[in-house]
Amino acid sequence: MDRIKKALTEKGKKVFVPYIMAGDGGLEALKDRLLFLQDAGADAIEIGIPFSDPVADGPTIQQAGIRALAQRITVKKVLNDLKSYQTEIEIPLILMTYSNPVVAYGIEAFAFDAANAGISGCIIPDLPLEEEELVLAPFEQNGISLIRLVTLTTPKERIKKIAESASGFIYAVTVTGITGSRNNFSEDLAEFLSFVKSESSVPVLAGFGVSTQEQVEEVCKHCDGVIVGSKIIDLFEQGEREEIKKLILSAEKISV
């Protein structure tokens, strides 16, 4: 069963998925933040694995990764930590990592350990469609959805091909570039999101650059929900947990 797709569609509302960096603030902060986000109404949570060369990440997430790496956070430590309290997490958890840590860990071992830690999906932004066979079989055997990404510059025929085999949800990148807050989006964004939705049998979530309640509400009009990372990291750093709650609840204002 595609646990992510089921969880994101059964509630009949727009979806909000926050992103946090594992180990930012120390590994002991991870459980506290996951439970807080779950209680605040998050529909799933994306967990970043700190990596030395995060090519898709902007300054805020890069700095969070640097702070985590300074704490000697590893993939193994994160998975072991998650496993120790997985029964307390009721919403899907999605790892965001890169090809190198997965290969270095051992693809089969990574998939097995991630599943046993309660992971339902994995995002690997530097793994192209043509090389997915490296991970597909172990992921499928362990019930882990490989979350595919599409961008504003992805040709329509390629979007169709990606959508054909999509599981969990499709991650629609809203900007041309790296993660981080933006003041505005491309005029083509609404058309892009609408096209991806028309081709997809799984939810379409938009991410990169979404950072305000107004942006959440605007983007949600054209897709099934949003993923917010840099702003969530900043608000945790600033101790503004009530603002995180407001941001999560803003997705519910949009009619499905």
Confidence of residue 175 (pLDDT cuts 50, 70, 90): confident
Domains: count for the chain = 1
**Catalytic residue, candidates 2, 43, 46, 224:** 46
Angstrom distance (rounded) from CA 177 to CA 180: 9
Angstrom distance (rounded) from CA 180 to CA 80: 29
Which residue carries 């490989």 as its tokens? 146
Angstrom distance (rounded) from CA 216 to CA 227: 9
Angstrom distance (rounded) from CA 70 to CA 245: 29
Q: What is the predicted pLDDT for the residue at 183?
A: 53
pLDDT above 90: residue 177: no
pTM score, whole prediction: 0.94
Domain with residue 17: its CATH number is 3.20.20.70
User: What percent of the chain stands above pLDDT 70?
Assistant: 95
Dump pLDDT digits (tens) for 8-55. 998 889 999 999 999 999 999 999 999 999 999 999 999 999 998 888
Is 113 catalytic? The answer is no
Cα distance from N-terminal residue to C-terminal residue, the chain: 24
Please compute the mean of the pLDDT values over residues 98-114 and round it to a whole number: 97
Is 46 catalytic? The answer is yes
Domain ranges, residue 56: 3-253
Name the residue among 235, 217, 234, 236 with its Cα closest to residue 226.
217
Please compute the mean of the pLDDT values over residues 89-99 and round it to a whole number: 97
**Catalytic residue, candidates 2, 43, 57, 224:** 57
Name the residue among 79, 89, 85 with its Cα closest to residue 39.
89
For residue 101, report the phi and psi dihedrals to the nearest 5 degrees. Answer: -60, -35
Task: Provide the residue count of the chain.
Answer: 256
Residue 96 CA to chain centroid, in angstroms?
Answer: 6
